[in-house]
Amino acid sequence: MTTTLITGGTVVTATGRSKADVLIDGETIVAVLEPGSRLLGTDLPASVDRVIDATGKYVIPGGIDAHTHMELPFGGTAASDTFETGTRAAAWGGTTTIIDFAVQTYGQRVFDGLATWHQKAAGNCAIDYAFHQIIGDVNADSLQAMDGLLAEGVSSFKLFMAYPGVFYSDDAQILRAMQKSADTGLITMMHAENGPAIDVLVEQLLAQGKTDPYYHGVARAWQMEEEATHRAIMIANLTGAPLYVVHVSARQAVEQLAAARDNGQNVFGETCPQYLYLSLEENLGAPGFEGAKWVCSTPLRSRAEGHQDHMWQSLRTNDIQMVSTDHCPFCMKGQKDLGLGNFSKIPNGIGSVEHRMDLLYQGVVNGRITLERWVEITSTTPARMFGLYGKKGVIQPGADGDIVIYDPNGHTSIGYEKTHHMNMDHSAWEGYEIDGHVDTVLSRGKVVIDHNEYLGAKGDGQFVKRGLSQYLI
Ligand code: URP
Ligand code: ZN
Ligand code: ZN
Ligand code: ZN
C-alpha cells in the first residue's frame, strides 16, 4: 500500500481552514497533522512513499456531484457522456464522486432499471459513483420495490411533475410515493415544474410560429416552477416525506422552499451552475439556433428578473443547500439539432460535470461565498444529504482519500478549442475564466490528476452504497 503525505497546504473544510498535513495510507486518510508534527508522532510511518507539496494551495475534500445523467436516454437520443467519459471529465474538474440517476421507465420494474444502470457503470468509472432511483411509473409494484432500495445502497428517489408521457407522476402517484418516503426515510427528490400546463403553452407557442430555443424558456415559466414547488412541499408536509427539490432556478421557488424550512419542514433545494451564471436573454436568446446549447429544464431564467443574483444570495443564507450540475450533455450535431424548427424537440440538458468546482470557486473570488461555504455546498453537504458523510465530504481520519489540491494562483480558461474532457462538440461554458486551478486530484488515495496529466483508469471508481440522509432534522 502506498502512503502519501500532502504537506504545506491549507486544509479547508466546511467549518474552517488551517495549515495542516494530510497522511493517506492506501485508500484512507489516517491523520491530519500540524505541519511538521509527523516527525514526533510514534504511530506514524517513519517514511512515506510519496510527498505532495501543496504549499500555497488549498487542500479540500473531493467534490461530490449529486446530480448527473450519464448515458440517459432522452428525447429520442441519449446523453453523450458515458460513465467512462463523464467520470473522467469529473475527475479533471476535481469531482471524485458522482450520484447518477438510475431510471425505471414506464412499464418497467424498479430493480430492472437499477440493474441496467449497474451494467452501464460497472468497471467503467474513473471515480466513485452512487445512484438515486428515478421512479418513472409509480404503481403497486414499484411502491413495494422501494422498500428494498436502501438495502441496495440507494437512499433517495426522484419523481417528475414535468414531462407528461415520459417520467411524469400525477398528484395521486406523488402522494403514494411520498407516503413511502416518510415510511422508509428515503428522500423524495422532485423535478418541480407543472408539466401538463407547460405542454399547453408549448403547443400554443409553436402554433404561433415561435419555434426558437428562446421559447423553451418562455413556455417553462417561473410560475410553473413556483406552483409545482409549492404543491410538492404541501404533499410532503401532509405525508411527512423529506423533500429535496432538484435544479431550482426561479427565485419564487426558493421563496417557497425558505418558507417551508422556516416552518420546520425537512425541505431542501439544489441549484446548478447554469442558474447562477447563465440567463434567458443572453443564452437561450442567442442568435439563430445557438440557444439550443442551453436548453435544459428547469430553464435558464431572466436576468432582468434577478433570479441569478437571488440564487447566489440563497447559497449564502442556506435557503439553497448545495450545488450539483444536472450534467446531461448533448452534442449540437445530431442531438440538439433534432429541435431545429421546434424547440420542444431539443433534448434537454447541459454538460457541466467538469466545471462545477471551478465555477463555484469563482464565486469565492467574486465575493459571493466564503471558501468554507464553497467546500460545504460542493462536497460536505452533498455527502451529508445523501448518506455518504464520514467516508466522503470531509478530511478526517477514516475518510476515503478523496482530495483536491486547488491552486488559487492558477488559472483555468474553460471551453476553448475543446479543452474540456466531456464528450460534447461544444461547451456551454466557453469563455468563462476562472481565477483558480485544479492541480492534483486523489481518488481513494490514488493520484488521478497530476497537474495537467490524467493518471487514472477506467474501473478505478467503485459503486458506493449510501445510507440514509445525515442532514434531516
Ligand atoms: O434538462 C435537464 N434537466 N435534463 C435532465 C433531466 C432532468 O430533468 O433532470
Ligand atoms: Zn429534472
Ligand atoms: Zn436531472
Ligand atoms: Zn497546476
Query: Are 324 and 101 within 8 A, CB to CB?
Result: no
Query: Are 8 and 34 within 8 A, CB to CB?
Result: no
Q: What would the mean pLDDT of 73-93 be, rounded to a whole number?
A: 97
Q: Is the CB of 328 under 6 A from ligand 1?
A: yes
Q: Is the CB of 348 under 6 A from ligand 1?
A: yes
Q: Is the pLDDT of residue 107 over 50?
A: yes
Q: What would the mean pLDDT of 272-277 be, rounded to a whole number?
A: 99
pLDDT in tens, 221-255: 999 999 999 999 999 999 999 999 999 999 999 99
Percentage of residues of the chain with pLDDT beyond 90: 95
Give this prediction's pTM.
0.98
pLDDT value, residue 34: 84
Choose which residue among 156, 271, 324, 348 to substitute to test ligand 1 binding: the one with the highest number of ligand atoms within 8 A of its C-beta.
Answer: 348
Q: Is the pLDDT of residue 36 over 90?
A: no
pLDDT in tens, 326-346: 999 999 999 999 999 999 999
* Complex ipTM value: 0.94
Cell reading at 273: 451552475
Query: Are 63 and 377 within 8 A, CB to CB?
Result: no
| Closest residue CA from atom 4 of ligand 1 | 349
Confidence at 417, pLDDT banded by 50, 70, 90:
low
Q: Is the pLDDT of residue 45 over 80?
A: no
Structural domains in the chain, CATH included, are 3-60+394-454 (2.30.40.10), 62-385 (3.20.20.140)
Of the candidates 105, 148, 153, 162, the residue with the CA atom closest to the CA atom of residue 129: 153
Alpha carbons 411 and 37: distance in angstroms, whole number: 32
Nearest ligand atom owner, CA of 324:
3
Nearest ligand atom owner, CA of 326:
3
pLDDT value, residue 244: 99
Of all helices (H) and strands (E), which one includes residue 174?
helix 171-184
Of the candidates 69, 99, 126, 95, the residue with the CA atom closest to the CA atom of residue 330: 69
Q: What would the mean pLDDT of 457-466 be, rounded to a whole number?
A: 98
Cell reading at 74: 432522452
Partners of residue 442 on adjacent β-strands: 403, 447
pLDDT value, residue 47: 81
Q: Is the pLDDT of residue 44 over 80?
A: no
Q: Is the pLDDT of residue 42 over 50?
A: no
Q: What would the mean pLDDT of 400-411 be, rounded to a whole number?
A: 98
pLDDT value, residue 415: 79
Q: What would the mean pLDDT of 371-383 be, rounded to a whole number?
A: 99
Choose which residue among 67, 158, 224, 247 to substitute to test ligand 1 binding: the one with the highest number of ligand atoms within 8 A of its C-beta.
Answer: 247
Q: Give SS3 for 124.
A: coil
